[in-house]
Amino acid sequence: MIKNNIEKTNERLKKFADAKKGTLIQVKSIKEFSVKRKRLDSWGLPDNMEEYLDYRLALFLEYWENRKSLDDDIIPAINPWYGIAEHTAFIGGTAEFGDETSWHHSFINDWAEDRHKATIDDNNAWLRLVVEGIEYLSDKCDGSYAVKLRGGEGAMDIANIARGNEMFYDFFEHPEELHEFLDFCAKAARHTLTKQAEAAGSYMGGIITGFDIWLPGHSTGHLSEDASVMISPDQFREFALPHTNAITAGFDHVFMHTHSAGSQNIPEIAKIDNLDYLEISNDPNAPKSIEIYKELADPLEDMTIVVSTTIDEIKDNIEFLADKKTILWYDAETMKDAEEAVSLVRSFT
C-alpha cells in the first residue's frame, strides 16, 4: 500500500471500532500538495469514463506519494467522483457538468404527469458511471490503494432534488404522493449502495465509505440528510425517519452526513436504525460543528461523531474529546502542519 504505515492505521481503525471511547484524526487535505484539476465538463462524460478515471487515479497516487509518511487514520482509497449529480440522477431526469461539480435538475414538476419518469434502471448512465467506475478502479488496483464507495443520499434528499423545493409544500398539499415517492427513493438509495458495495469489495471485512470512514461488517455509507436543515423535528419524524429506516435496515453500521445549520434535527437523525457514525459539517452563519457536538452530547452519547476542526479547536476541547468517541477531520496547510495535528491527537489518546 502506498501509505508507509498502513498496518498501524488498520490496527487503530479496528481497535477504535470496538472501543467505547477514543479519538482518531483524518487529515483530509494538505494544501501544499493541491493541484489545479482539469475542468470536469471538459471530459465529455458520461463518455470517456476510463480516460477521466485514469487522470483522477494519477493525481490521487501523486498526492499520496507526497503524504505517504503521515501517520494519521485515513486509508488511501479512491472512488469515481463526478461532482454531486450522481447521487440522484440515476433515477432519471437530466444533469449537467460544470467546472468543479455537476447538477441534477428537478424533473417531477407534476405528480400525475411526471412521477413515472423516476425509475430504478441498471442501464442508467449515471448509475453505470458510479458502479462501472468502481469496478474499473478495482480492476486496476495493484494493492497500492483501496477502493471506496461513492455513497448516496437519504430518501428525502433524493426527493428534494427530483421534486425541487415543491417537496416542502407537498408535506401539506400532497402527503400521500410524497410518502409513496419517498418509499421509492429509499429503494433507489439502497439499490445504488448495494451495487457500489458489490463492485468495491471488502476492506478488512468491511467497507470504506465515500467520506473515508471505514466500517466493519455489513455496513453502508455515506448517506446524507441535507434537506432536514429546512424542516422541523415533527416533519422529520413523519416524512424522513421511516423512509431512511428502510434504507438502513439490516446493516451492522451506517455512516450519515448532516449539517450544523440543521441542529434541531440532529437528535432525530441519531434515532435512525443502525446509524452509529454521524458527521456534522460546518456551515456558514451557524455554530461550529464541535460546539453543536458539545451541546448535543447527551443524545449523541452512544455514537461515533465526525467533526471538522482547527488545531485550536482540538486544543480547546481535549478534555471533552477524551471522554467521547470521535473522528476529527483536519485540513492542513502543509505536511508539517498535518504532522503537528496528528501528534496533538496522539498525545491524549
Q: How do the pLDDT tens digits run along the chain, 349 residues long?
A: 999 999 999 999 999 999 999 999 999 999 999 988 999 999 999 999 999 999 999 999 999 999 999 999 999 999 999 999 999 999 999 999 999 999 999 999 999 999 999 999 999 999 999 999 999 999 999 999 999 999 999 999 999 999 999 999 999 999 999 999 999 999 999 999 999 999 999 999 999 999 999 999 999 999 999 999 999 999 999 999 999 999 999 999 999 999 999 999 999 999 999 999 999 999 999 999 999 999 999 999 999 999 999 999 999 999 999 999 999 999 999 999 999 999 999 999 9
| Torsions phi, psi for 259 (to 5 deg) | -125, 145
The single-letter code of the amino acid at 213 is I
Rg, C-alpha atoms of the chain: 20
Q: What is the DSSP-derived secondary structure letter of residue 209?
A: -
How would you write 90-121 as a 3-class SS string? HHCCCEEECCCCEEECCCCCCHHHHHHHCCCC
Instruction: Write down the residue that cell numbers 491527537 correspond to.
Output: 345
How far apart are alpha carbons 292 and 101 in whole angstroms?
29
Tracing cell 483501496 back to the chain, one arrives at: 146
Which residues are bridge partners to 330 per DSSP? 27
**Separation CA 129–CA 137 (nearest Å):** 12
Asked if residue 2 lies in contact with residue 61, where contact means CB atoms within 8 angstroms, the answer is yes
What is the DSSP code string of 57-102?
HHHHHHHHHHHTT--SS---EE----SSGGGTGGGSS-EEE-SS-E
Structural domains of the chain ordered from first start = 6-346 (3.20.20.210)
284: part of which helix (H) or strand (E)?
none
